Structure 1
Amino acid sequence: MDGEGKVDSHYVASNHQHYKRIYQWYEKLTDRIEKVHRYCSETFPDIAIGNFARNQERDETEHPEVFRYFGVGSGSGDSDIAILTQLSKRLPRIEATITEPSDKMIANFKLAISECGNDALQKIKFTWNQATIEEYMKMPQDTKFHCIFLCGVLAYFKDVDQVVQYLYSVLAENGTILIVTESGNETNIFYEVWYPGRFPSINEQIAIPDNVVASFERCGGKVRSSNLECILDGSTLVDEESESGSLLLDLLTGVVDCRKTAPPEFLRQFLDFISDSNVSFKQEGKFLLKNDRVLIIVQK
């Protein structure tokens, strides 16, 4: 059950088809997606444009500078599109570089752009890279970005300090980085249960926001972080006949078909843990789990 030192299809991390099915249920049970999307649409674009405007005020050239955007591990691009949609309404020239290792996710991203009906968004010049951030870092380039966005990918970095140093080095003067990541404390069921020792493809230490903040500060960045309160409906976890409960259990433990394959003692300990833990509470007859995110903003 501990799975130390190996990754196989028994783990959600390496069974992408199962993860996709799980995530469809997860989206229905959490308010995280809505809250992150709202922040990306309503709050962050003002911050990024405000910092970019300071560059324009110092720019003595006649033509405005192109706004360069960098999406790291963007997946199907939902949050990136939320940001770029608002930026495209207010900035005349945008170039977006997207890095994502999954060709299927890149295809979904492109499809979402073509179907959005936003003419300004479709005028953005996109550059697509099917690569991890570590692979992208090895490619020859000299681009500086005014905005860099990462959502839910920190835990997959092999060396957080190396990636942080790289991201800060390619950030333009007065540029802005937004990182949305797991909360690394008792306000997040994933940090308490999902990471430690049960998901061998993920570096649990990298998932701690304080480590990331400290890394950027060592680079000289101006960093601030805030907590985004989110909840996950875990009411079906105790129902052995519930499909959503079984899939949610797989997500929390990182094990495929956990209810069928895990030792009964493990399941008992897990359910006892979330019942007594600081990460759960009851409200209006529902059993809710804290699913908070941390928003980290870095400025140069």
Structure 2
Amino acid sequence: MAHPKLQLAAALVGSGLAGVLVALQSRINGGLSQQLGNGFVAAAISFGGGLVVMLLVLLVSRRGRQGIGLVRREIAAGRLPRWALLGGAGGAFLVLNQGLITPLIGVALFTVGIVAGQVSGGLVLDRLGLGPGGRIRATPTRLVGAALAIVAVVVTVAGALDSSLALLVLVPVIVGAGVAAQSMVNGLVRAAAQSAVTATLTNFIVGTALLVLAAVVSLLFTGWPTHWPSELWLYSGGLIGVVFIAVAAMLVRRAGVLLLSMSNVAGQLVAAIAFEIGFPLAGGLTPALVAGTLIALVAVVIAAVPSKPVAGRE
């Protein structure tokens, strides 16, 4: 068996690569939303595509099918709370705002906001012990890392104070906290089901139901989109979401909610900068965006450095 430190390092690297996929998904869903002129429909298509992929995976995954029965038994026995099945709400909120907010503020600014929400939410969730790894005590480096993530958002937004869109960065901050919670509850479901397939499928069932409902309400007011893009890659957001959610569900027990979130956003930030350079959705790179991204990356590194827990904490 691999050394625990090597296992943790592998988990963080895997989470970082998954973060690249989140930034890619933001770019894809934001582009689809722009083309359709309806972020609600774009989000429903993305999550619905992921659900189709997971149903196909379930057909060939015996462990995934067995996991459904295990989850039912765990819930009936009271060992798994019913609210643990609602992780898809966090994913749905992320995908929806990728389509609604990313085209307005760009991938990089959206991602920096996600950073603050993920690391702050992860710190709180680890401290409360709600994740599958139990209570993970706060350390000075984690607290400093979380504080720097907030500073990164302030620096980034300060560069956009002349824009009426600056306050929109608060939306991805809230979304980021939801993503941290999503990883936590998906980890709980995976532990109960003994299958990442079951956990991921549960996520997509809940998320798709919520987003389809929102899309239907939106269509009642705006009507059916008149233009559907022909680029097939714009419809791949759901497949990318499948990979991200499955990886997070598998790794959260090893890394904890905070470190998983931190390594994940490191990958998001690097990819977001690349997209703003090569395929911008909004105004592209600015000095404030670069500074905020660098501070957020430093926050990730500092939070990942081991240190003794804060005195007086469990």
In which range does the TM-score fall when normalised by the shorter chain?
under 0.3
TM-score by length of 1: 0.28
Decide which structure has the larger Cα Rg and report it: 1
More strand by share: 1
Structure scoring higher RCO (CA < 8 A, sep ≥ 6) equals 2
TM-score by length of 2: 0.27
More helix by share: 2
